[in-house]
Amino acid sequence: MEILVEGDIILESVSRRVENYGQELCDLLENLRDTVKDAGGIGIAAPQVGILLRVVVVCVDEKEIIEMVNPEIVETSGVQRMREGCLSCPDFLAVTRRPEKVKVEAYDRNGKKFKINASGLKACAICHEIDHLDGVLFKSRLDASELFRTLKFGKFLW
């Protein structure tokens, strides 16, 4: 699927909750999995491919692919600084502040509710993708105290 880039109004829009679980949702999840893998990312949200539904895929490592439908962060703790990038903001890396740990409630592709606890990079990726569902790009999460480390097009910004 084609990944939308910063400036597209869809990336600034709030996504709708998934109401129908069926083949169309399964197909979307498979396409998101393929798209993030082909792009070399660790996560993708449906709005990034032009679909305003609350659906994300996170694959921090090849052993675990997390599919979340209608995810909600129910608890956070700690703070971490993490260098982030985004498939919708190519050639831009920045240091952000995210929770060190998150607890998320979501549904799987069959509509079964589950909870997941995540920390470190996985917590960061989950928060990043859920932000996309609310029309928030990671650039709004930049840590001003770390801004000098921000890379754009391979050059330091001062």
Amino acid occupying residue 136: V
Whether the Cβ atoms of residue 138 and residue 81 lie closer than 8 Å to each other: no
Q: Where are the beta strands (DSSP E) in 19-125?
A: 43-45, 55-61, 64-77, 80-86, 89-98, 101-107, 113-119
The residue type at 88? S
Contact by Cβ (8 Å): 75, 103: yes
Choice among 2, 100, 129, 146 that is catalytic = 129
Q: How far apart are CA 72 and CA 62, in angstroms?
A: 24
In the residue annotation, 6 being an active-site residue is answered as no
Q: Give the residue numbers annotated as catalytic, written as ranges.
A: 129
